[in-house]
């Protein structure tokens, strides 16, 4: 049976500018930026656990805060104010574009191997 991939919102508040940039660059590789510190990610439970583990190594827990919120499969979107995307761009499903999925899959595979090696 295929693992169920659900959308998640990832947000952060990072106190130190270098850590902030590192977290932002990291998340841009695996998720869709909605705002500067808010990302949309589609992942199964195993990938979320890997993400949590990786992010935990990148922050200072007494100074920084990262939140991961699961969303329903088909969330109702509401945007007030400046649009997130250019006119005509629609999110008709939660799947990221194929190129972004492949990039994210490759990224996850590399980091999973790195985490496995570092925990051995």
pLDDT digits (tens, 9 = 90+) for 91-111: 545 444 333 444 455 555 555
pLDDT digits (tens, 9 = 90+) for 5-46: 899 999 999 999 999 999 999 999 999 888 889 999 989 999
For the chain, the domain total comes to 1
What CATH number does the domain containing 22 carry?
3.30.70.240
Q: Is residue 22 part of a domain?
A: yes
Range of the domain at 111: 6-73+94-119
pTM strictly above 0.75 = no
Instruction: Give the strands of the sheet with 65-70, arranged side by side.
Output: 32-35, 38-43, 6-13, 65-70
Q: Is residue 86 part of a domain?
A: no
13 is in an annotated binding site: yes
Q: Is residue 89 part of a domain?
A: no
Distance of CA 90 to the CA centre of its chain: 19
Q: Is residue 49 part of a domain?
A: yes
pLDDT (0 to 100) of residue 56: 95
Distance of CA 33 to the CA centre of its chain: 8
The answer to whether 56 and 3 have CB atoms below 8 angstroms apart is: no
In Å, what is the CA distance from 24 to each residue of 36, 55, 76?
A: 8, 11, 26
Identify how many contiguous H helices and E strands the chain contains and give both numbers: 3, 4
């Amino acid at each position: 049976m295929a693992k169920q991939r659900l959308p998640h919102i990832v947000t952060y508040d990072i106190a130190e500018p270098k850590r902030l940039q590192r977290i932002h660059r990291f998340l841009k590789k695996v998720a869709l930026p909605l705002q500067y510190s808010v990302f949309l990610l589609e992942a199964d439970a195993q990938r979320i656990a890997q993400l949590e583990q990786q992010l935990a190594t990148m922050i200072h827990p007494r100074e920084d805060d990262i939140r991961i919120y699961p969303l329903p499969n088909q969330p109702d979107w509401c945007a007030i104010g400046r649009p997130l995307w250019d006119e005509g761009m629609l999110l008709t499903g939660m799947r990221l574009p194929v190129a972004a999925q492949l990039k994210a899959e490759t990224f996850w595979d590399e980091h999973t191997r790195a985490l496995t090696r570092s925990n051995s």
